[in-house]
Chains A and B, each alone.
Chain A
Amino acid sequence: MATVKDLLKAKFTQVWYVTPTSTVADALKLLSEQQIGAVLVVEAGKIVGIFSERDFARKALSPEVNLGTPVGDLMVRGVYYVTPDQSVESCMAMMTAKRFRHLPVLEDGKLVGVISIGDVIRQIMYEKDSTIQSLEDYIWVHMI
């Protein structure tokens, strides 16, 4: 079964991040330029949060929030993460249970990539198709 490491190998991993003092405007501009839905918030080499389109849409209504607000005020803290050795299925379970679309990948406490629900689903579908294919091959060879 594939691991997170396999997913990272398959895609070009550029990790985009902002800092807690970056403004909401800066973070939104980055999301837009890179065509991504969420960005990590990093301070002194450590992940302190994640900021997504959803966080913005949900919190935009509170009167004290504007485009100059620091991302640190709107980000979601306590970011869940995965390690390179974890199975893709365990990532899927975490993403589904917590309703996350993105998970940072940490190795020895260091950020090495981000995987999205799209990456995870593609891999799992591929594995299921391979299983179906080999079962069908087995039936052709041995049973018909």
Chain B
Amino acid sequence: MATVNNLLIQKGNEVWTVQQGNSIKDTLTLMGEKNIGAVLVLDGPKIVGIFSERDYARHAARLESMLLDKPVDDFMTHSVYYVSPQQTVDEVMALMTSKKIRHLPVMENEELIGLISIGDVVKQIMSDKETTILGLENYILGRDYSG
């Protein structure tokens, strides 16, 4: 079964981050430029949280403020789950579904090496299932089994 590592090979290791203390305004600007739904918040090299469009919408509604000049770390989600490159896509999917999260950082030896989204995971799982179906059909039809 495909692993997180397979996903990273396809999508690359680029991770968009902001430093704690950066403003919401700068953070939203980055998210807009890169057309992404969430960024990791770092303290130096260390992950301290994740900030998403959802976090922004929820806090703005709750505090009835645009919050643009506030530091991003005041409104990020602190408890960041992460995965390792060896984990299977099924494990990642289960974690995302049970925690209702769309993004997970990938850590190897305490180093951040990527960020995967639920879209990446779903695409991989679908294609794995397609491959299985094709392999079974070929087996039944007596074609060369290459799955």
Contact = CB atoms under 8 A, between A and B. Distances in A.
B56 A57 contact: yes
Given A53-B54, A61-B25, A135-B140, A28 B60 contact: yes
Nearest to A27: B61
Interface size class of B (residues with CB under 8 A): 20 to 34
Contacts of B61: 25, 28-29, 31-32
Contacts, number: 77
A67 B126 contact: no
A58 B140 contact: no
A58 B109 CA distance: 35
A56 B57 contact: yes
A93 to B, nearest CB: 12
Nearest to B26: A61
A54 interface: yes
A32 B64 CA distance: 12
Contact of B126 (A25, A65, A125, A138): A125
A46 to B, nearest CB: 25
B132 interface: yes
Contact of A61 (B29, B53, B122): B29
A121 interface: yes
Which of B61, B64, B126 is the most central at the interface, judged by chain A CB atoms within 10 Å of its CB? B61
A124 B139 CA distance: 23
A11 B136 CA distance: 32
A136 B140 CA distance: 9
The binding surface of chain B is classed by DSSP as helix
Which of A128, A129, A138 is the most central at the interface, judged by chain B CB atoms within 10 Å of its CB? A128
Interface residues of A, number: 29
Contacts of B74: none
Nearest to B93: A125
Contacts of A121: 122
A54 B38 CA distance: 10
Interface string A104-144: 00000000000000000100110011011001101100110
10 cross-chain pairs, A with B, having the tightest CB-CB distances, nearest first = A28-B61, A135-B136, A128-B129, A57-B53, A53-B57, A53-B53, A32-B61, A29-B61, A32-B58, A57-B56
